Amino acid sequence: MENNIILKKVSKEYKDFKLNDISFNVPKGSVVGLIGENGVGKTTTIKAILNIISSQGTIIVLGKDNKKYEQEIKQEIGVVLDDSFLSDYIDIKKIDSIMKDFYKNWDSKKYFNYIKKFKLPKDKMINDFSTGMKMKLKIITAISHNPKILILDEPTSGLDPVVRNEILDIFREFIAEDEERSILMSTHITSDLEHISDYIVFIDNGHIIFNLPTEELLENYGIVKCKKEEFEKIKKEDYIKYKKEKYQYEILVNDRFKFKKIYPINTIDRASIEDIMLFYIKGENK
């Protein structure tokens, strides 16, 4: 499978934090979700890909070194960062005129079609937009030069479910238009990734904990609920981490079908991406 983004042993060291030999790929035609707590390296990884910060290691974007060919690459990617936007004191029409000068492939027709579709006011200053309207505008602006890659940092944070769903529809449409495209999306709202992502990269304390297909995570991972005496019979190699609750133990396993064959425990629930992340971060080892 060909990749639109390749990271090999990417590192970045700060005074109190180190991104440590991060390696993963973003395949063509896929949505890759980047998950983890605040301050563990997600945004640092994105900024390294964009060459906003210097880093060690190799980053290849669209077949090109991200440092040597930064300007060429930026013509082919759309970016939504928390602080990435123009002045609040311009309107939608002004953004169009600015972007025409910046992107050689800027598509005004596409831009205004999206503006109409999502009912954004053309004559209001962006400062008067709601949070959801501002995020829709950021994303519309990011995709209206027909990029090959979208890179998004917390694009649905703080939005209500209806607006979040509308934004996820934009992403689905973006990928469906061209099978060569990709999305790399960092988010705390892991339920969104269950609906849209193909792969999940989990970062904790500057390290990758796992990089797996979303379907595999949701199908195979499970949460076992058992009594203390049952828990004590379970071998450490047969589970990942556990939590001790008031009346029972809860255990995260990465193959619920295999586990059920080994241990006669009836209660094994599917694990959500959020469950999996929380067990890895908060769970205990024997």
According to DSSP, the residues that pair with 13 across neighbouring strands are: 18
In contact, 241 and 234? CB cutoff 8 Å = no
pLDDT of residue 25: 97
pLDDT of residue 16: 87
92-102 vs 108-117: helix crossing angle, rounded to 10? 150
Who's near 87: CB < 8 A, 6+ residues apart? 126
Tell me: pLDDT of 157 over 70: yes
> Right CATH number for 3-214 from 3.40.640.10, 1.20.1090.10, 3.30.70.120, 3.40.50.300?
3.40.50.300
Q: What is the mean pLDDT of residues 92-121?
A: 94
Tell me: pLDDT of 272 over 90: yes
Q: What is the mean pLDDT of residues 83-94?
A: 81
Q: What is the mean pLDDT of residues 205-230?
A: 94
Confidence band of 84 (pLDDT split at 50, 70, 90): low
Token pair listed for 246: 């008031």
196-218 as b/e: b if 16+ CB within 10 A? bbbbbbbbbebebbbebebeebe
pTM of this structure: 0.93
pLDDT of residue 252: 97
How far is it between the farthest Cα atoms of the chain? 69
Q: Delimit the domains of the chain by residue range.
A: 3-214, 221-282
Tell me: pLDDT of 38 over 90: no
